[in-house]
């Protein structure tokens, strides 16, 4: 009886720590960002957060670019189209373990978390 109880407690402890590890591990990774250009033209993108800017550069139509930042803040994206039209996305909060996806269309810049897709 005591051996059975000990085995049950051991298995429960192992399962508890396995599940805990699965949920905690992503919080140690830098935030990831993916920018998808779904517009028919080349766009130029700049990521803006706090007092920082990262020039992503030009992204071809129907292609994407990924990057990460070792920080925690709100980020927005400034997109300049081939005809010099400029749009900015809404600001999204990011922290460790988060992935943000930005989709650029001909008339909008949409930002969402990857778990919202």
Residues 12-39: tens digit of each pLDDT:
888 888 887 777 666 677 899 999 999 9
Lowest mean pLDDT among 2-6, 38-42, 56-60: 2-6
**What does pTM read for this prediction?**
0.76
Contact 115, 101 (CB under 8 A): no
> In the structure encoding, which two tokens stand for residue 57, read together?
């550069």
Task: Name the band, by pLDDT with cuts 50, 70 and 90, for residue 116.
Answer: confident
Between 21 and 9, the more confident residue is: 9
For residue 79, give the 3-state DSSP assignment: strand
Q: For the chain, how are helix, strand and coil distributed in percent, rounded to 5?
A: 25, 45, 30
Round the average pLDDT of the chain to a whole number and report it. 90
Number of Cβ within 10 Å of residue 52's Cβ equals: 11
Cα gap 115→20, rounded to integer Å: 20
> In the structure encoding, which two tokens stand for residue 51, read together?
């007092």
Residues in the chain: 117
Question: Alpha helices of 25-113 — where are they, by DSSP H?
Answer: none
- Identify the bridge partners of residue 37 per DSSP, sorted by sequence position: 63, 104
């Amino acid at each position: 009886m005591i051996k059975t109880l000990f085995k049950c407690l051991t298995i429960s402890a192992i399962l508890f720590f396995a599940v805990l590890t699965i949920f905690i591990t992503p919080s140690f990774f830098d935030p990831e960002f993916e920018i998808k250009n779904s517009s028919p033209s080349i766009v130029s993108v700049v990521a803006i957060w706090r007092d920082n800017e990262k020039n992503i550069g030009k992204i071809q139509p129907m292609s994407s670019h990924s990057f990460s930042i070792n920080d925690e803040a709100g980020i927005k994206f400034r997109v300049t189209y081939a005809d010099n039209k400029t749009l900015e996305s809404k600001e999204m909060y990011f922290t460790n373990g988060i992935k943000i996806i930005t989709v650029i269309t001909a008339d909008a810049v949409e930002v969402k978390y990857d778990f919202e897709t």
